[in-house]
Amino acid sequence: MVGQRKFGLFDLFNTIVLALVACATIIPLIYIAAISLSDTASVTQGKVWLWPKGLNFNAYSQVLNDIKIPRAYLNTIMYTALGTFINVFMTCLAAYPLSQREFVGRKYWMFLIVITMFLNPGIIPNYLIVKELGMIDSVWALVIPNAIWTFQLIILKSFFEGSSSAIREAAKVDGASDYRILFNIMLPLSKPALASIALFYFIGHWNSYFLPMIYLNTDTLYPLQVVLRQMLVFSEGSGSSAIVEAAALAPQAKKNATIVLAMIPVLLVYPFAQKYFAKGVMLGSEKG
Amino acid sequence: MPDTNIVSLPVKEKPTFKSKMARLGKRIVRDRQLLIIFLPCLLFYLLFRYGPLYGLIIAFKDYSVFRGIVDSPWVGFEYFEKFFNAPEFWQLFRNTFLLGFLTLVFSFPAPILLALLLNEVRISWFKKGVQTASYLPTFLSVVIISSMIIDFLSPTNGIVNNILNSLGFASKYFLIDPDWFRPIYIISEIWTNAGYESIVYLAAIAGISPTLYEAAKVDGASRFKMIFSVTLPSILPTVLIMLILKTGNMITIGYEKVLLLYNTMTYEVADVFSTFVYRKGLLANDYSYGAAVGLFEAFVAMALLLISNYVSKRMGGNGLW
């Protein structure tokens, strides 16, 4: 913007509105955390606001002693680690050839890939493919059918395009194979881009509940989000009158403690993700 | 998509099929390592992106698990007729369009407004702080967001009802009240996405030439006036593109959230095509019926995208293609 102006009425209004926006995002999260740290009596009487009343960690020890939740947490960590690794690996394998201008059939391949962003066959055909491949009720159903997100592929391909042609020519002259060029030259040079797509895949896996819910049938395989969903459905019940009873209140602190634990990894990677995602959004809107 | 890849241009006479194939063969041999690297990606897209498209033929078949996709008998449009004649059809149709349309109308301006306001902030730490806070909800899972909604609106000790009580009103059970479902859904959508979506508009604003503002300032325009006569017109192309995309996605309701927030009491307003597909197709195992409804939904969505693109172009704006 131009020049220095004094802080006028408009600035005051603007600052207040934006401060309210920021509060509206943050306060619900603080409230959740405050509930999870408060004693049952204060929660029941609705006394808790933005600071825990009767500070204690009972809800957290309940969560940790409930066999289901730590197991689900470990499942989520496993699925997220494996899934993110497969995602990044597959996206690299796809992006490198496509970033080479001379690659045979490049335009056809890109057309084939980009058009899938507009063709959405829906839940059922996807489910049937996974079922016919015998992946139901296994971790593979969660990590293979979405191994490449087209959007992330386009982002990585654009990044590779920025540097690769000259490097590849030079390496080729030196007799390097494409495998070596990809793994020993391109990937080490692309760490920021890889970190960025890995973060998005990570958050995607960590937060997913619908696919695990439809693909997994065994309790012991459930990830955290599915268990959290069961807690919602359970505490809310299917009827309407049963809710009023006080017994339903006790799990609230426990549920919120689970939510806090589920949010922590996302909050930890968030500052890093924030650095990258503006770039991602812009690239996507240019190319998509 | 035109192909300039395989036929090379300098050849004077029209290349014969044989010479084309020979050139293609050469290029394949030359790029064999790249092709091997590319193979997993190709298999992935054929199997998991084009496979389901092929699987859609079960919408025209009476699919049974034992016979499989290929051997199940054809039934033509039977499942589509079943759907169009189903008692739920018009309710689903109305719910899907209303929820999609209202969400679009109310949530579309939010990120634009936010970007305009953020752009006027000159204290950089404050701007960064607001941005950091407002982008965050996009990264929370839909289960967590739904859980917060359920908690806050709980009739027994939810914060909203606590406030209502202290103001002398009776507690209300928002989530079983059909009148409240749409507002709750739309507000939560704005809360989740407005911050993140403002990035696109902020970037568009950042691309506006400063000379435009200087000229406006020389003409004596106030800051308020500059927003309307410089900033908004300059980002209009971006706004239009986003509007086309959003209209195309209008009926693709966030069914993951609806599934968590609706219940039998609110089906009359909350049940949409995709939740119906989930219940009929997956919970009741009527795969063919579910696939038919899903295909119908996809067709309507595609039509909306094409129409909005066409209208935007006719009005002299940008199109997606």
| A119 touching chain B per CB within 8 A | yes
A98, A277, B191 from A152: Cα distances, Å: 13, 11, 25
- Å from A67 to nearest chain B CA? 20
Domain boundaries, chain A: 1-56, 67-287
Q: Do the Cβ atoms of A145 and B277 come within 8 Å? A: no
Identify whether the C-beta of residue B288 lies closer than 8 Å to the C-beta of residue B58: yes
Mean pLDDT across B232-246: 89
Select from B41, B117, B210 the Cβ nearest to the Cβ of A93. Answer: B41
Number of Cα atoms under 13 Å in the Cβ half of residue B279: 15
Triad B141, B142, B146: Cα angle to 5°: 125
Spatial distance between the Cα atoms of B114 and A19, rounded to a whole number of angstroms: 12
Domain boundaries, chain B: 31-76, 84-314
* Chain A neighbors of B126, CB-CB under 8 A: 15, 18
Spatial distance between the Cα atoms of A236 and B197, rounded to a whole number of angstroms: 32
* Chain B neighbors of A169, CB-CB under 8 A: none
DSSP A223: -
Q: Do the Cβ atoms of A2 and B144 come within 8 Å? A: no
Q: Do the Cβ atoms of B133 and A22 come within 8 Å? A: yes
Spatial distance between the Cα atoms of B167 and B63, rounded to a whole number of angstroms: 57
- Å from B136 to nearest chain A CA? 8
Spatial distance between the Cα atoms of A28 and A102, rounded to a whole number of angstroms: 52
Identify whether the C-beta of residue B193 lies closer than 8 Å to the C-beta of residue B201: no
How do residues B40-65 score in pLDDT, each as one tens digit? 999 999 999 999 999 999 999 998 88
Mean pLDDT across A63-86: 93
Least confident of A2-11, A263-272, B42-51: A2-11
> Helix crossing, B124-135 with A250-287: angle to 10°?
110
Residues 6+ apart with CB under 8 A from B287: A124, A127, A128, B58, B63, B281
**CATH homologous superfamily for the domain A67-287:** MetI-like (1.10.3720.10)
Q: Do the Cβ atoms of B217 and A208 come within 8 Å? A: no
| A237 touching chain B per CB within 8 A | no
| A140 touching chain B per CB within 8 A | no
Select from B27, B147, B260 the Cβ nearest to the Cβ of A259. Answer: B147
Spatial distance between the Cα atoms of B161 and A46, rounded to a whole number of angstroms: 10
Number of other CB atoms surrounding residue A62 within 10 Å: 16
- Mean pLDDT across chain B, nearest whole number? 88
Spatial distance between the Cα atoms of B219 and A110, rounded to a whole number of angstroms: 49
Residues recorded for chain A: 288
Nearest of A252, A210, A207, A261 to residue A232 by alpha carbon: A252
Q: Do the Cβ atoms of B34 and A96 come within 8 Å? A: yes
Burial of B136 (0-12, 13-18, 19+ CB in 10 A): buried
B280, closest residue in chain A (CA to CA):
A124
- Å from B287 to nearest chain A CA? 6
Residues recorded for chain B: 321
* Chain B neighbors of A148, CB-CB under 8 A: 41, 44-45
Bridge partners (DSSP) listed for residue B61: B74
pLDDT at position B188 over 80? yes
B70, closest residue in chain A (CA to CA):
A132
| A230 touching chain B per CB within 8 A | no
pLDDT at A278: 63
How do residues B260-270 score in pLDDT, each as one tens digit? 888 888 888 89
Buried-exposed string A35-50: b where 16+ CB fall within 10 A, e elsewhere: bbbbbbebbbebebee
Spatial distance between the Cα atoms of B110 and B120, rounded to a whole number of angstroms: 16
* Chain A neighbors of B5, CB-CB under 8 A: 104-108
**B161 or B109, higher pLDDT:** B109
- Å from A60 to nearest chain B CA? 17
Q: Do the Cβ atoms of B55 and A144 come within 8 Å? A: no
Identify whether the C-beta of residue B134 lies closer than 8 Å to the C-beta of residue A25: yes
A208, closest residue in chain B (CA to CA):
B141
B67, closest residue in chain A (CA to CA):
A132
pLDDT at position B5 over 60? no
Examine the predicted complex and report whether its ipTM is higher than 0.90: no
How do residues B137-158 score in pLDDT, each as one tens digit? 999 999 999 999 988 888 877 8
How do residues A184-237 score in pLDDT, each as one tens digit? 888 988 888 898 899 989 999 999 999 999 999 998 999 999 999 888 765 554
Model confidence at A1, in pLDDT bands (50, 70, 90)?
Answer: very low
Radius of gyration of chain B (CA): 26
**A82 or B224, higher pLDDT:** A82
Nearest of B230, B115, B72, B247 to residue A17 by alpha carbon: B115
Identify whether the C-beta of residue B190 lies closer than 8 Å to the C-beta of residue B105: no
CATH 1.10.3720.10 for the B84-314 domain, yes or no: yes
pLDDT at A254: 84
Triad B122, B125, A18: Cα angle to 5°: 70
